[in-house]
């Protein structure tokens, strides 16, 4: 076969130099046609769009043609031609075809219209479907949007450790990391495991959040963000929880609650706008096939101001809804941790806008949040989104050493692993704030997908670590 430099389909479909000889490589999505002419829809992942290859059967051997099946990988040389029927401007009149990889009829993606559940079972092949191709291209774009946003604002990308000895959220949902022989654990007289001879010489786990180390960095570099995998051994089998998920965590010195909320709102709007500006073909596909209201909802978030709502007022609204006969599965009262049905009521029905809820009861929030003068609430913020519920959790941090210590003792948080964190409050402490955005929750919103397992390539959930 003549060697011609490969053109990606995304670039090829924009070309207008009809008559040029081109090469494309990709996977067969469909093949149809008559006894004389066949049309192959070829996709190479660079775009949701396929390029149509027109094959005059008389020019090719039976031997070759029988291997051009759904899923097969081809290299095609041919003439770039103006297209009338393919839905695209350009198509290729094939002159040479090489089958790089044949694909027999055991290929599970023969037909269209598989269920999401089935596709999860073949997560190694699902990137080849239109839907997952779109989702993963958008996922990439959102990662770029995040780095771009913070870089432009002068935040430094700071890498916090994956393996850690501290439980940032204090919720005891950590996966342990050990090289100990689990069949032969050394224990002390109380039956507690002795970690002295373990790899790190102490109990170590996978991080649930980079925040604590992020705070160290913010109190030196001014403004930083982390973006990496985090792990939570929470046994929640919901469409919004993963055991391994990616989190973006900015942390800003000298920021107060107002600054924090502004940053949260500006950040999400930037990401959503980025998708609208840069992922148009994929969004239009998802809008058509997955969620008819998607693009409208994205545009609305970019255009509307988020509501700022203290928790206490939010509870009042929910109690009024109950009084008017609205049924919630879980009870509403001051002090309750809002369930996703409550959050969605506020966002989707009451305000019909994203809501930044603030000033939560301290009992339902983490130890590090700045305590308000009322002695009851803390300066925590959750950003609540339509369809999703909580997309961001953040707070102003308690920068006062004594108040922070008091809270740590009240909650019986083990001190010996916290000394370095407390040092920030001892040596030139400063007001600061930050938040964590669940990357896959953002992707749920931006793609319109219904289940968080379908916006990460290889989901980790209770009883599932396949692939
Ligand atoms: O609200 P969370 O637990 O907050 C923190 O971890 C803070 N340390 C963040 C900070 O202030 N730097 O988690 C932050 C976000 C949530 O709002 C949610 O979007 C996401 O992380 N998240 C999850 N996403 C998927 N699966 C899970 N199991 C998640 N748990 C939290
Ligand atoms: Mg939270």
pLDDT, tens digit, for every residue of 99-147?
999 999 999 998 778 999 999 999 999 999 999 999 999 999 999 999 9
pLDDT, tens digit, for every residue of 216-239?
999 999 999 999 999 999 888 999
pLDDT at residue 82, as a whole number: 96
Stated length of the chain: 467
How much distance in Å is there from the Cα of 174 to the middle of ligand 2? 16
Q: DSSP string spanning 240-309? A: T--SEEEEEEEEEET--HHHHHHHHHHHHHHHHHHHHHH-HHHHHHHHHHT-TTHHHHHHHHHHSPPEEE
pTM equals 0.97
The answer to whether 438 and 453 are in contact (CB under 8 A) is no
How much distance in Å is there from the Cα of 358 to the middle of ligand 2? 12
Q: How crowded is residue 425: how many other Cβ atoms within 10 Å of its Cβ? A: 20
Nearest CA to ligand 1 atom 28: 241
The answer on pLDDT for 157 being more than 80 is yes
pLDDT at residue 169, as a whole number: 85
How much distance in Å is there from the Cα of 392 to the middle of ligand 2? 7
pLDDT, tens digit, for every residue of 56-71?
999 999 999 999 999 9
**Rounded to an integer, what distance in angstroms lies between the CA atom of residue 374 and that of residue 361?**
10
Reduced to 3 states, what is the DSSP secondary structure of residue 16? Answer: coil
Reduced to 3 states, what is the DSSP secondary structure of residue 325? Answer: coil
How much distance in Å is there from the Cα of 261 to the middle of ligand 2? 15
pLDDT, tens digit, for every residue of 185-217?
999 999 999 999 999 999 999 999 999 999 999
Q: State which of 113-117, 245-249, 416-420 shows the largest mean pLDDT.
A: 245-249
The answer to whether 223 and 432 are in contact (CB under 8 A) is no
* Pocket lined around ligand 1, Cβ cut-off 6 Å: 168-169, 209, 211, 232, 234, 241-242, 245, 247, 249, 390-395, 434-436, 438, 440-441
Nearest CA to ligand 1 atom 2: 393
The answer on pLDDT for 280 being more than 80 is yes
**Rounded to an integer, what distance in angstroms lies between the CA atom of residue 72 and that of residue 305?**
49
């Amino acid at each position: 076969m003549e060697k011609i430099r490969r053109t990606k389909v995304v670039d090829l479909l924009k070309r207008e130099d009809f008559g040029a000889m081109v090469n494309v490589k990709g996977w067969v999505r469909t093949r149809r046609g008559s006894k004389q002419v066949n049309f192959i829809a070829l996709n190479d992942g660079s775009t949701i769009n396929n390029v149509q290859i027109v094959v005059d059967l008389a020019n090719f051997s039976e031997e070759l043609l029988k291997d051009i099946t759904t899923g097969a990988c081809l290299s095609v040389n041919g003439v770039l031609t103006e297209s009338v029927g393919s839905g695209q401007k350009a198509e290729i009149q094939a002159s040479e075809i090489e089958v790089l990889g044949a694909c027999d009829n055991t290929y599970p993606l023969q037909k269209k219209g598989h269920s999401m559940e089935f596709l999860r079972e073949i997560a190694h092949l699902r990137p080849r479907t239109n839907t997952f191709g779109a989702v993963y291209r958008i996922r990439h774009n959102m990662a770029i949007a995040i780095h771009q946003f913070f870089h432009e604002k002068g935040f430094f990308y700071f890498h916090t450790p994956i393996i850690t000895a501290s439980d940032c959220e204090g919720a005891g949902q950590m996966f342990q990391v050990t090289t100990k022989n689990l069949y032969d654990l050394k224990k002390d007289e109380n039956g507690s495991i002795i970690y002295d001879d373990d790899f790190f010489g102490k109990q170590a786990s996978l991080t649930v959040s980079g925040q604590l180390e992020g705070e160290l960095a913010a109190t030196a570099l001014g403004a930083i963000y982390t973006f990496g995998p985090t792990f939570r051994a929470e046994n929640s089998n919901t469409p919004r929880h993963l055991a391994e998920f990616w989190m973006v965590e900015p942390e800003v010195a000298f920021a107060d609650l107002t600054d924090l909320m502004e940053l949260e709102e500006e950040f999400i709007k930037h990401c959503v706008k980025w998708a609208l500006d840069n992922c148009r073909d994929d969004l239009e596909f998802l809008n058509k096939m997955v969620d008819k209201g998607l693009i409208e909802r994205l545009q609305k978030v970019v255009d509307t101001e988020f509501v700022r709502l203290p928790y206490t007022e939010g509870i009042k609204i929910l109690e009024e809804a109950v009084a008017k006969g609205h049924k919630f599965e879980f009870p509403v009262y001051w002090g309750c941790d809002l369930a996703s049905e409550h959050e969605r009521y506020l966002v989707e029905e009451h305000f019909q806008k994203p809501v930044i809820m603030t000033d939560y009861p301290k009992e339902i929030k983490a130890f590090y949040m700045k305590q308000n003068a009322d002695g009851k609430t803390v300066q925590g913020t959750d950003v609540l989104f339509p369809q999703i519920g909580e997309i961001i959790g953040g707070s102003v941090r308690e920068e006062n050493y004594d108040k922070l210590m008091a809270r740590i003792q009240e909650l019986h948080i083990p001190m010996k692993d916290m000394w370095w964190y407390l040092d920030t409050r001892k040596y030139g402490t400063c007001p600061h704030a930050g938040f964590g955005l669940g990357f896959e929750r953002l992707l749920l919103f931006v793609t319109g997908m219904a289940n968080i397992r379908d916006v990460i390539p290889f989901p980790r959930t209770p009883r599932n670590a396949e692939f």
